[in-house]
Each structure stands twice: as structure tokens, then as C-alpha cells.
């Protein structure tokens, strides 16, 4: 699931300024600035409590694989495009010194747009198809 980008600090500041000038209720300000009334409420509370309107960082863990790690992974895939996820994880661990599990490698490759089409390990059938369709 991809999270939407937060609304800019400039818009948040304009909403707070409009509220301070008494330009309307939360709902009216939401309609005026084309945002949700819950967002107006949240921004005003954030301004009151912290004095800042900067968006909070997205929830979740920081990924272990940064841009450098992704570049190394891309290089490993280019060197051996037939490597399994476990092999890629092991090679990545050796290069970066950080343990990665195959499922995480799969997710990173998917986000990078790299497909994992493997060569078949068996020979093709020597029997030709007899179906006419």
C-alpha cells in the first residue's frame, strides 16, 4: 500500500493563518482549502502543541537497504540473473555485512521493478503438441 504524500507545509500554514484570522469553522476552512476537516483539526492541534506544521515521518521501520544497498543488489542481479533469492540475500550479506532475508529481497526487487524470471531447470519436451488449437 502506497501512502499519499503529505500536504505541503505552505498549505498548512495558510489554513492555520486563516483560522487565526477567524475566516471560518474547521469545515469551512476545509472546504476553502480543499482538504479534510480532520486535517484542519490535526494541523491546528499540531500548531498549538508543537508550534510546527512539518509532517511527521511515515510510520514503519527504516529499511535496512538504502540506495547504496539497492545499487549493490542491482549489480548482483546483473552479474547472475538466474540466482535464487536466497543466493542474492547471501551475496548481499557478504558485500554489505548486514543480514537480509529472501522475502525482503523479493520486496525490494519488486519495488525496483526487477522481475525474477528464472531459467527452467528441465529440458523441453521432445514430443510436439498434437492439438490444432
CB 118 within 8 A of CB 87: no
pTM assigned to the model? 0.49
Report if residue 97 sits inside a domain.
yes
Give yes or no for residue 127 having a pLDDT over 80. no
Q: Indicate the number of domains in the chain.
A: 2
Count, residues in the chain:
133
Report if residue 103 sits inside a domain.
yes
**Mean pLDDT lowest among 49-63, 70-84, 118-132:** 118-132
The pLDDT tens digits of the residues spanning 88-104 come to 999 999 998 888 889 88
- CA–CA separation, 45 vs 22, rounded Å? 16
Q: Are residues 72 and 40 in the same domain?
A: no
The pLDDT tens digits of the residues spanning 5-54 come to 889 999 999 999 999 999 999 999 999 999 999 999 999 999 999 999 99
Give yes or no for residue 2 having a pLDDT over 80. no
Q: What is the domain extent for residue 93?
A: 67-112
Give yes or no for residue 69 having a pLDDT over 70. yes
Q: Are residues 46 and 73 in the same domain?
A: no
Burial class (CB within 10 angstroms; exposed 0-12, middle 13-18, buried 19+) of 120: exposed
Give 11 or 64, the one with higher predicted confidence: 11
- The x, y and z cell numbers of residue 126, run together, are 521432445
Amino acid at each position: 500500500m502506497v501512502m499519499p504524500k503529505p500536504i505541503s507545509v505552505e498549505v498548512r500554514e495558510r489554513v492555520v493563518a486563516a483560522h487565526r484570522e477567524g475566516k471560518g469553522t474547521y469545515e469551512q476552512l476545509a472546504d476553502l482549502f480543499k482538504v479534510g476537516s480532520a486535517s484542519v483539526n490535526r494541523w491546528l492541534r499540531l500548531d498549538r502543541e508543537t508550534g510546527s506544521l512539518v509532517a511527521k515521518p511515515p510510520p514503519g521501520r527504516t529499511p535496512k537497504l538504502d540506495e547504496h544497498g539497492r545499487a549493490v543488489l542491482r549489480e548482483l542481479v546483473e552479474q547472475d540473473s538466474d540466482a535464487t533469492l536466497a543466493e542474492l540475500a547471501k551475496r548481499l550479506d557478504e558485500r554489505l555485512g548486514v543480514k537480509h532475508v529472501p522475502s525482503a529481497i523479493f520486496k525490494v526487487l519488486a519495488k525496483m521493478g526487477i522481475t525474477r524470471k528464472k531459467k527452467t531447470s528441465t529440458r523441453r519436451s521432445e514430443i510436439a503438441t498434437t492439438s490444432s488449437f
